[in-house]
Amino acid sequence: MISAQQLEALDPPTRQAVLSLLSELKVELSAKDALIAQRDREAAFKQALIDKLTHEMAVLKRLKFAATSERFASTLAPEQKSLLEETLDTDLAELEREIEREQGLGDDKAKDKSGKKTPKRTPLPPHLPRHDVPHEPADTHCGCGQPMQRFGEDVAERLDYQPGVFSVERHVRGKWACRCCEKIVQAPVPAHVIDKGIPTAGLLAHLLVAKFMDHLPLYRQEHIFERAGHLISRSTLAHWIGECGAQLQPLVQALADELRRHVVLHADETPVAMLKPAHLRDGKTHRAYIWSYCTTSANPTKAVVFEFSEGRGGENVRAFLQLDTPQAWQGTLVTDGFSGYTACFDKGVTSAQCMAHARRKFNDLWANHRSQVGRKALRYHQCLFRIEREIEDLPSGERRRIRQRKSRRVLALFQRWLLAQRQLVPPGSATMKAIDYSLKRWKELTRFVEDGDVPISNNWVENHIRPIAIGRSNWLFAGSLRAGKRAAAIMSLLHSARINGHEPYAYFKDVLERLPTHPASRIQELLPHRWSPAS
């Protein structure tokens, strides 16, 4: 390093050049220090995530392998124990995949590093029908010009399933050699969503659709497969679902990002039971929620995203809409009257509430008490919804114009009538509560008149949540928070495929076949509203 005295002894041009060089070195060192600090932060964050996942895996392993008294209460029915065990197996498989991904390890490296021996796989039963899927090199001519000779083959068998019938796909990879050059050529191993796994994409698609759309727990599918001629253990099925859940996560994230690009969204929530480790001894469940977000029925982009959370607090909606980030969503959110959404509206989101919920209050008055106030209110709602049915297929601008001309007049008369009735009914009565529900939310309930893209009700998203409510009788509970999040993610893709007119099995089968080699930069091509079968 040059000293101050030596620097002063230099002639002015040289001294200036040295000072300039020192300044550049300081800038470069500062940039390198910043880069090192950033990488240290990234490494610390990644290690913290790996530690968190490792701890979660240790907890799940203790629940699975500990003594029965420490795992779950003896009061649980056999099918409930089965559901819990398959959930643990699925969670463990998904955690293993996530830890490998965070560590940057492939399947082979991860297994080598762990030092674990891979158990020998039982051969697929010889009585199952088989069909060959050939994989040969594109060119079997050597660089010397001589044709190569086929001298052998490698065969990998994968288990396929059509409803009620198992079969085996034999992936035959011929070996070709040039005698003069001693060169060997063979087609590469086809990529698979579960590396070195035996299930085909068709079997995995059937498994996912049966569990998350048809609400068949794995212990029931195990019996169905046994009747079809090949028993697959629940732990194996659970492992496959965990692997698929981890692999499909980038696609679900892309679907959520796509949803947030639209300026009018529906939101709703429904309760589901969830087991928590602290409650296992007494067999009690925790009240969790599945939140549903979707585009409107008039939007050409049909998409629905489910989010699983442990509670019903408004922070779950704020997190999904990224309201506390620079990418905060700004638009109109159509909801029911639940107060948990209020915090979103304080962040700049526009509130539009559901007229169908207001109608139900008056319908209860009429159905239960034959209230004439309820009957009259229902007539006003009937008129409003009739207008909506007439204009549902019109462009947004035309819908707004008709609403301004017709719906606004009906609403003005309706509000005037409600205010008059409010003075006549006794305080604290059911009639007063029904009237106050509408009057206190009048601005939000009538938002649809000002915006042709805003629907009159939240019924569209409630229809998407209805299959979840139907499936609750089969689920009994979500086995863990991770299991609930995985189920919500997979159901997001399944139901988005359904509302876009796709057969969910065909969609999942094609996506699982293409996903291993599909570029991450083009993941949007596999979203349900953009998907088209591979040619």
pLDDT band at 527; cut points 50, 70, 90: very high
Model confidence over 66-77: pLDDT tens digits? 544 444 444 444
Residue 85 lies in a domain: no
Q: For the chain, what's the residue count?
A: 535
Residue 182 lies in a domain: yes
Model confidence over 147-198: pLDDT tens digits? 888 888 888 888 888 877 899 999 999 999 998 888 889 998 888 888 888 9
- 364 pLDDT higher than 50: yes
- 473 pLDDT higher than 60: no
Q: Say whether both 151 and 287 belong to one domain.
A: no
CA distance 403 to 449: 5
So what's the pLDDT on residue 320?
A: 94
Model confidence over 290-345: pLDDT tens digits? 899 999 999 999 999 999 888 888 899 999 999 989 989 999 999 998 888 988 88
Model confidence over 197-248: pLDDT tens digits? 899 999 999 999 998 888 888 888 999 999 888 889 888 898 899 889 888 9
Q: Quick one: what percent of the chain has pLDDT higher than 90? A: 41
Residues 6+ positions from 439 with CB-CB distance below 8 Å: 415, 418, 419, 422
Q: What distance separates the 2 farthest-apart alpha carbons in the chain?
A: 105
So what's the pLDDT on residue 530?
A: 94
pTM over cut 0.85: no
- The secondary structure element, H or E, covering residue 442 is helix 442-445
Residue 61 lies in a domain: no
- The secondary structure element, H or E, covering residue 185 is strand 183-186
Range of the domain at 185: 126-194
Nearest to 431 by CA among 422, 441, 440: 422
Q: Output the average pLDDT for the chain.
A: 83
Residue 296 lies in a domain: yes
Strand, helix or coil at 324?
coil
- 274 pLDDT higher than 90: no
Q: Say whether both 144 and 278 belong to one domain.
A: no
Q: How many domains does the chain have?
A: 2
CA distance 362 to 438: 10
Q: Say whether both 385 and 287 belong to one domain.
A: yes
Q: Say whether both 266 and 163 belong to one domain.
A: no
Residue 478 lies in a domain: no
Q: Say whether both 189 and 332 belong to one domain.
A: no
So what's the pLDDT on residue 117?
A: 56
Return the minimum-mean-pLDDT range out of 93-102, 131-140, 253-262, 471-480.
471-480
Q: What tokens does 353 get? A: 């509430």
